[in-house]
Structure 1
C-alpha cells in the first residue's frame, strides 16, 4: 500500500451527516493502523478488528458501510466469514485484501458477492475507490430495506377487510365487483379504498 495521501482532506470529511463506517478485519496490526489512518483521512469512520470472531461481536451498522477483509485470519478465514455473514449483513459489501491470492480464491470470493479482491501491496487510491463503490452499494441496499420495512408497516396497519379490498382492487376489479365479491355496498368499498390509500400512502388516482 502506498503511504501517500492527498494533501487536502476529502469532501466526505465535511459531511454533516453521520459518516459511513468501514470495518477492517486483519490480524496484522501495522495493516490495521495504516488502513484506519487512510480511511479516517478520507472522511469515513473506521472500526478495526484483529480476528473474524472479534468482528462478529460488532452490532449491525445502521449507516452505509463496507468491510475490508483479509483472506488469511487466525480463526475463521476471510472466505469463511463471508459465507457466515452473507444472509444477515446483506447491506455490507466486502473488499478482500490478501498477501497472496490465486484464481480459484478470487473466483470464490467474487461469486459470493465481493466488491473487489486486492493483492498486497496496492495503491491507497485503488482501495479507496473500492471502498467508495462498496459504500454506495450499501447506501442503495439500506434505502431499499428501509422502503420495504415502511411498506410492511403500512400494510400491517390495514384491517382484514381493507386487505381484502386492496387485493381485489389490485387484481383489477371495479368497486361494484369488489362489493359483490365481499357482500358489501359500493359506497363501503369506496370508503375502504380511501382508508387503504391513506394508510399505504398511495397517490394513484386510479386506486
Structure 2
C-alpha cells in the first residue's frame, strides 16, 4: 500500500480544515494544506507524490494555471479540481489540462473520497508498472551478450538452427544459451521471455 499524501490547495481556511477533518476521520491519509497555488508549487518539487485537491478560484494563480504547471513536472501528482461555479466548460478544460476529476463545492464527502480513491489507484498502478519495468531491466542485465543474441533471435521467431548459423555456433550451444537465459529471467516459455525483453526496452516497441 502506498503512502497516501493529499495536498489541499485552497484559499478558504474553513474548507481546508473541513477536508483535513474528513480525511483524518476516514484514516489512511497524510494531509498538507496550502492557502495559494504559488505556495503549493514552491513546495511541490520536494513533496512526495500524491493527490492534489485544487481550488479553481484563488487569488494569484488560479487552479487551471497551477494544474498546467504541474503537468510540466514529473507526473507524481493526480489532481482533482474543486469548483463552486458548476461550469462544465471549466471542468472540460481542467480534464484537458490533466485533472482526473472535478467536484463542485460545497463538496459531497462520498464523492470526494471516491475521487481520491480513484486518484491513488492510478498512482499505485503507475508505480507497479515502473517497478515491473525496473525488474525486467535488472533481469535482462543478468544475460551475457551471447544470451542476449539468442534471445533476440527467439524474438524474431528464428529456429535454433537459424540462430546457430547466424551466430556461428552449434545448435546445441544455442539450446544451452536458451536454457540459461530462461533460467536467469525466471521464465518457462519463450513468450514470457519476449514480454520481459519488450518491458525492459531491449526491443523497442516502435523501431526506428
TM-score, normalised with respect to structure 1: 0.77
Of 52, 61, 72, 1:67 maps to 52
| 1:75 to 1:159, Cα distance in 2 relative to 1, 3 A | farther
The CA distance in 2 between the partners of 1:51 and 1:68, in whole Å, is 12
The CA distance in 2 between the partners of 1:189 and 1:205, in whole Å, is 14
Mapping of 1:196-207 within 5 angstroms? 196-204=181-189
| 1:71 to 1:198, Cα distance in 2 relative to 1, 3 A | farther
Mapping of 1:46-125 within 5 angstroms? 46-56=31-41, 57-58=43-44, 59=46, 61=48, 65-86=50-71, 88-90=73-75, 92-125=77-110
Of 131, 136, 143, 1:158 maps to 143
Structure with the larger helix share: 2
3-state DSSP class of the match of 2:77? coil
Report the RMSD for the aligned CA atoms in angstroms: 2.5
> Contact 1:60–1:89 at 8 Å: present in 2 too?
no
> Contact 2:154–2:190 at 8 Å: present in 1 too?
no
1:27 matched residue in structure 2: 11
1:42 matched residue in structure 2: 26
1:190 matched residue in structure 2: 175
After TM superposition, give the deviation of residue 20 of structure 1 in Å: 1.9
3-state DSSP class of the match of 1:126? helix
Structure with more contact order per residue of length (Cα contacts < 8 Å, sep ≥ 6): 1
Structure 1: tracts of 5 or more residues without a match? 1-16
> Contact 1:91–1:141 at 8 Å: present in 2 too?
no
The CA distance in 2 between the partners of 1:187 and 1:161, in whole Å, is 14
In the alignment, structure 1 residue 128 sits paired with structure 2 residue 113? yes
The CA distance in 2 between the partners of 1:156 and 1:47, in whole Å, is 40
Structure 2: tracts of 5 or more residues without a match? 194-208
Moved more, 113-122 or 49-58: 49-58
After TM superposition, give the deviation of residue 178 of structure 1 in Å: 0.9
The CA distance in 1 between the partners of 2:69 and 2:105, in whole Å, is 24
3-state DSSP class of the match of 1:93? strand
